[in-house]
Structure 1
Amino acid sequence: MKWAMALLLVGCGGEGSWEVETYGEPYIEQGIPASAFEDGCSARFSQFSVVITKAALVDGDGVELGGLEAPLTVDVHAPGPHPVGLWAAVGAGHYDHARFEIAPAGDGTAIHVVGALTCDGVEKTFDWRFGTATVYDCEPEDLTVPVGGVDRTQLTIHG
């Protein structure tokens, strides 16, 4: 009987889990075709790395829950989705939004993009690094962590 009562209490604890993943849209994973450019150029990436420094749920009072233990670098050029984190034991219920930050870490790079642009048969390669920090407040349609369940959020990176 003690075990049944303990399981009942855990089941009514009012907690669930929040799982976050990211991926690069098809333009990042597969390239940007000539049909997408007015001048007929095309682009392809061999690397498109982002440094995620924050992933948090935000409640109606602006309080953040969740978080990364350390910055996470993800190359979203590789087919995804890519796991960012799973936060267990967060309060069940509806959240106003999810907050993500892509920001510099280590060498000062937040986004590192390597690839090539081809126009009229001439290819130009590029290796760009950006050090700007950007915060994204995303409002998924129904960001609700169920009791004893998992809600998932996907951060889509556009190129």
Structure 2
Amino acid sequence: MRNIERMCAAAMSLAAAALAGCSGGDTSGTGSVAFSTWGEAYIEEQIPASDLEDGWSIRYEKFLLVLRNVTVADRDGNVGATMQGSILVDHTKPGPKPVVTFDDLEAKPWEQVSYEIGPPDADTALDGATEEDRALLLGAGASVHIEATARKADVEKRIDWTFTIATRYAGCAGDKDGKALDGVLVTNGGTDLVELTIHGDHFFYDDLQAAAAKRRFGPIAAADADDDGAVTLEELAAVRLVAIEEGPYGTGSAGDVDDLGAFVAQLSRTIGHFRGEGECVSGDP
């Protein structure tokens, strides 16, 4: 009987070791998760003409957004930690910006990670953004504000767009050390470094869902009805998607999107990613 007990104990020990190996580290004790955010070179530098189908280049002067409600939970939905407050960042300022760090989390996989881009409040912290930026978003009840200049040959167009739609990014997954991982992995005494990556090129996609979407600025430039060099969201709203000559603009399951203004507003909900190219499911908060 004792031999059987020893064999069972050995088998359980091997199983535990195998599970620890699969999870990527020691999952006893506690550890931390540190979230940062980065806008990549497309926002900090420019989107070069070579990366757009129609030869325009785009340089951002402001790229403001508010991050809030970063949350980690396990596969059963038990919440380990939730961010308090919010932070307004200007991603044109170089480098990653710290968002929130959760300490003393149980060392284990936390498969459900979510965060929101939503409007600020009077106590929203600032990183690279100014008091005037916060006042702008507060006054508009906005989540995202961008200013940019697009150029092609001797033509220049300005955009100054503000979006009030709040978006929750849930079920986030991405690559960690070359391996696919749902959420985050907390190891004993370790810190999982997680980047909430913002993709500034998404505002110029020609499809809301297709992986093969192309970047275009020509239809946006053509929407400048009064030819004053500034393309407004109101001018975009006057352009029917079916009237765009450069090719179809795909709306996927968003059946109520039929003009370029509504299309760009929906694109504003696709900018949030996870660990670089990792994906989340976007929806209402």
TM (norm. structure 1) is: 0.85
- Displacement of 1:113 in angstroms is 0.6
If you compute each CA radius of gyration, which structure gives the higher value, 1 or 2?
A: 2
Residue 31 of structure 1 pairs with residue 46 of structure 2: yes
Matching residue within 73, 78, 85 for 2:93:
78
Misfit runs of 4+, over 4 Å:
none
> Counterparts of 1:31-50 in structure 2 under 5 Å?
31-50=46-65
Matching residue within 106, 114, 117 for 1:91:
106
Q: Partner of 1:35: helix, strand, or coil?
A: helix
The residue aligned with 2:173 is 139
Share of identical aligned residues, percent? 37
The residue aligned with 1:118 is 151
Distance 2:160 2:68 in 1: 22
Q: Partner of 1:139: helix, strand, or coil?
A: strand
Distance 2:59 2:79 in 1: 37
RMSD: 1.7
Distance 1:90 1:109 in 2: 33
- Displacement of 1:86 in angstroms is 1.0
Distance 2:64 2:82 in 1: 20
Distance 1:26 1:156 in 2: 11
Larger relative strand fraction: 1
Paired letter, 2:37:
T
Distance 1:95 1:121 in 2: 52
- Bigger relative contact order, structure 1 or 2 (CA pairs below 8 A, ≥6 apart): 1
- Displacement of 1:139 in angstroms is 1.2
Residue 22 of structure 1 pairs with residue 34 of structure 2: no
Q: Partner of 1:90: helix, strand, or coil?
A: strand
Range 113-122 or range 38-47, more displaced: 113-122
- Displacement of 1:14 in angstroms is 2.2
Larger relative helix fraction: 2
Paired letter, 2:60:
F
- Displacement of 1:13 in angstroms is 7.7
Q: Count residues in correspondence.
A: 148
The residue aligned with 2:193 is 152
Q: Deviations over 1:78-120 (max 9, x none)?
A: 1111111111111210011321111112311111111111133
Segments of structure 1 that go 5 or more residues without pairing to the other structure are 1-11
